[in-house]
Amino acid sequence: MTEPAKNIVIVGGGIAGSTVARELRARLPEGYMLILISEESYLTFNPMLPEVVGASIFPEQVVAPLRQMLNLRGASRFIMGHVVAVDRAAKTVTCSSLAGEIIVPYCELVLAFGNRPRLDLIPGLAEHALPLKSIGDAMAIRNVVLRRLAQIELEQDPEPRRLLGHFVVIGGGFAGVEVAGELADYLKSIRRYYPRVNMDEIRLTVVQDIDRLLPELSVRLGLAALRSLERRGVVVLLGKRAAEVHADGIRCTDGEMLSAATVVCTIGTRSNVLVEALGLAADRGRIATRPDLSVEGADGVWAAGDCALVVNRLDGRPAPPTAQFAVREARLLARNLLRRLTGRATEPFSYRSRGMMAAIGHMNGVADVFGIPLSGLPAWLIWRAYYLSQMPTFGRKLRIFVEWTWGMFFPTDITHFRFTRSGEASGRSNEELGHRQRAARDAIAGQ
């Protein structure tokens, strides 16, 4: 390790953390070391996870290896590990890694560890719903969808067939609308491979607790998304709130029961446990920052991304926790950190949004780009072009472009991946499915 006064430590390898690292790596002052600590060895482009659910793209197409992306060498280092403690008095970070516990001293500390899904908002959510926050979540949802269709083919009783064929998405924001659109197209495209499943046995419902979809966008684009989903047979229940989640569906606050074997949750986030452990000023779980993204009352500590509450000087309101703002926050943070090291004045965060986008199925989307509303294929193409531009290296961009283009014209994938090792009980999954199916039948009989 270098001397404590020479380490710039970044905690978190998401969009904000990796952007700070890229901005700093080429401009480090002489003698400084850049250290990035992340639980994962890759960056996940989370807005693209719904497309993984719908098999529009493969999992490896929405991740970027941090080592390749950052090209860390020389005066930089990557540590794959989990930060368990920060001693601000001693200026050290304690990290649990593959080699055991590591203590890393720092002179400047950047917090960009994002947030976590919150599964205690609704009773039964943690036990019975499928969250969508990671690659693993996306693959789990896809596998469940494929298993449901396989179960329907083997089931003779019409009541369990209807239960197994109903998919409910809680939340009508970006993630909810995107995953609903992907599921609608996916179910339609793959049903031909399940000839014993009738189309009228497949249903998809979105539950949104306010009177419109995509509240982050204009009313016009929210209506466009609603019409797009409804044209594909998705039932959208506006102004309806889930009160409880059960193994056989959800019960709404108005008493209505939506029977479904599969519930996908796209609502609720909670702060990282480090926020409380650090004892920093926070607002609703997000670290409060000064206008220049340094943290009030914490010498040498900075924050950006979803874990930070950054007030946009342009409108005086907190910046939204989106990828677009995370990138701009990270770039300013890197510049301000370098200014601080060289004794120059820092600048406040001020940024005007370039627009917002959402993909709502295969070759379908909505977007507001520089105030111009777009929907359908043009919005979807712009959405994909933006995320392709964020991928590292020309070779990776070219490979993904070819694979995405191929996927526009050929059938989606229906491979059900079982992540089990040789020697594990092969009958375990069938036994589990049988148990769940019997439980679903019992639940129906008890209604």
CB contact at 8 A, 297 and 105: no
pLDDT at res. 121? 87
The pLDDT value recorded for residue 420 is 65
How far, CA to CA in Å, does 83 sit from each of 4, 80, 101?
Answer: 17, 10, 9
Give the pLDDT of residue 421. Answer: 65
pLDDT at 229: 95
pLDDT the model gives residue 437: 53
Complete DSSP assignment for 316-366: TEEPPSSHHHHHHHHHHHHHHHHHHHTTPPP--------EEEEE-STT-EE
**282-283, strands of its sheet edge to edge:** 282-283, 286-288, 308-309
pLDDT at 427: 52
Angle between helices 15-25 and 323-341 (to 10 degrees): 40
What is the full per-residue pLDDT of the chain (447 aa) written as tens digits? 445 568 999 999 999 999 999 999 888 888 899 999 999 999 998 888 999 999 888 888 888 889 888 877 777 899 999 999 999 999 999 999 989 999 999 999 999 998 887 888 899 999 999 999 999 999 999 999 999 999 999 999 999 999 999 999 999 999 999 999 999 999 999 999 999 999 899 999 999 999 999 988 888 889 999 999 999 999 999 999 999 999 999 999 999 999 999 999 998 777 777 887 788 877 777 899 999 999 988 989 999 999 999 999 999 999 988 888 999 999 999 999 999 999 999 999 999 988 888 888 888 888 888 888 888 899 999 988 888 887 777 887 888 888 888 877 877 777 777 766 666 655 555 555 555 555 555 544 444
Q: State which fold the 125-267+417-442 domain adopts.
A: FAD/NAD(P)-binding domain (3.50.50)
Q: How would you list the strands of the sheet with 249-252, edge to edge?
A: 242-246, 249-252, 257-259
* Numbered ranges of CATH 3.50.50.100 in the chain: 125-267+417-442
State how far the alpha carbon of 91 is from the alpha carbons of 81, 101, 169, 286, 300, in Å.
18, 16, 44, 21, 9
Separation CA 116–CA 129 (nearest Å): 16
Q: What is the pLDDT of residue 1?
A: 47
Report the CATH fold assignment for 4-117+269-341.
FAD/NAD(P)-binding domain (3.50.50)
Instruction: Give the burial class of 138: count Cβ atoms within 10 A of its Cβ; 0-12 exposed, 13-18 middle, 19 or more buried.
Output: buried
Which residue type sits at 130? L
Quote the DSSP letter at residue 107.
S
Question: Starting from the edge strand earliest in sequence, which strands make up the sheet with 372-375, in order?
Answer: 355-359, 365-369, 372-375
The β-bridge partners of 178 are none
Query: Which residues of the chain form CATH 3.50.50.60?
Result: 4-117+269-341
C-beta of residue 400 within 8 angstroms of C-beta of residue 388: yes
Give rounded-to-5 percent helix, strand, coil for the chain. 40, 25, 35
* Prediction pTM value: 0.86
Q: Say if residues 264 and 184 touch (Cβ distance below 8 Å).
A: no
The amino acid occupying position 169 is V
Cβ proximity of 266 and 132 under 8 Å: yes
| pLDDT of res. 411 | 74
What's residue 441's pLDDT? 52
In 3D space, the residue among 323, 56, 311 whose CA is nearest the CA of residue 174 turns out to be 323
